[in-house]
């Protein structure tokens, strides 16, 4: 409600007096040129930043009044500037330590993100070490493969709100089509931005 935002030490507002209402189960596309504030809007919604002016409400309550961790658990987000970490593929999907009970869900998330054929080619499967940061034998993924791992995180988390900030930027047209089909299927009962 009437949200404005400017970065510290900047005289210019990135967003000025924005009003928006997102409804449960709705699919919303935000379109605009580079620098229009789309990513900033998402980061505000996810409470990575607080508005300079105005307020963001969830069910009529200012999001600052919710427990931060509880609020964040509502969102599966794939940012355009995602990161792959020096850990196993499974840990990169779950973003936490992995138990045996997590493995089927991780594999399912990777398959939904169209990473299944690459997964089959990995000798250690989801236990494959990624990057060479901590392991000389670590596997380096291509930009598109890395993006699919980041997308698998959203499928794994299974939250009511899915936020995709240019999730197909590094994908080829076929992979982008497959991603869109998987997202449509996975997000039928979810709110998607």
Residue 170 pLDDT more than 70?
no
Query: To the nearest whole percent, how much of the chain has pLDDT over 90?
Result: 61
Structure tokens of 15? 């967003």
Over its C-alpha atoms, the chain yields an Rg (Å, rounded) of: 18
Beta-strand (E) ranges in 36-133?
57-58, 61-62, 75-78
- The answer to whether 73 touches 159, Cβ cutoff 8 Å, is yes
Residue 133 pLDDT more than 70?
yes
- The answer to whether 134 touches 86, Cβ cutoff 8 Å, is yes
Residue 183 pLDDT more than 80?
no
User: What would the mean pLDDT of 45-67 be, rounded to a whole number?
Assistant: 96
Of 164 and 141, the one with more pLDDT: 141
Q: Identify the pLDDT of residue 178.
A: 76
What is the rounded average pLDDT for all residues in the chain?
90
């Amino acid at each position: 409600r009437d949200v404005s935002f400017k970065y510290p030490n900047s005289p210019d507002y990135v967003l000025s007096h924005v009003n928006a209402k997102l409804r449960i189960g709705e699919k919303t596309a935000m379109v605009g040129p580079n620098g229009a504030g789309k990513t900033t809007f998402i980061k505000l919604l996810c409470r990575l930043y607080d508005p300079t002016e105005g307020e963001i409400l969830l069910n009529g309550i200012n999001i600052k009044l919710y427990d931060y961790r509880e609020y964040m658990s509502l969102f599966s987000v794939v940012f355009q500037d995602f990161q792959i970490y020096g850990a196993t593929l499974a840990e990169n999907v779950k973003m936490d330590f992995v138990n045996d009970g997590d493995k089927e869900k991780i594999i399912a998330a990777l398959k939904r993100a169209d990473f299944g054929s690459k997964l089959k080619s990995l000798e250690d499967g989801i236990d494959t070490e990624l990057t060479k940061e901590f392991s000389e034998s670590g596997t380096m993924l291509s930009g598109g493969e890395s993006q699919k791992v980041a997308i698998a995180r959203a499928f794994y988390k299974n939250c009511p709100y899915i936020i995709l900030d240019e999730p197909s930027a590094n994908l080829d047209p076929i992979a982008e089509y497959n991603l869109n089909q998987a997202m449509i299927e996975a997000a039928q009962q979810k709110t998607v931005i």
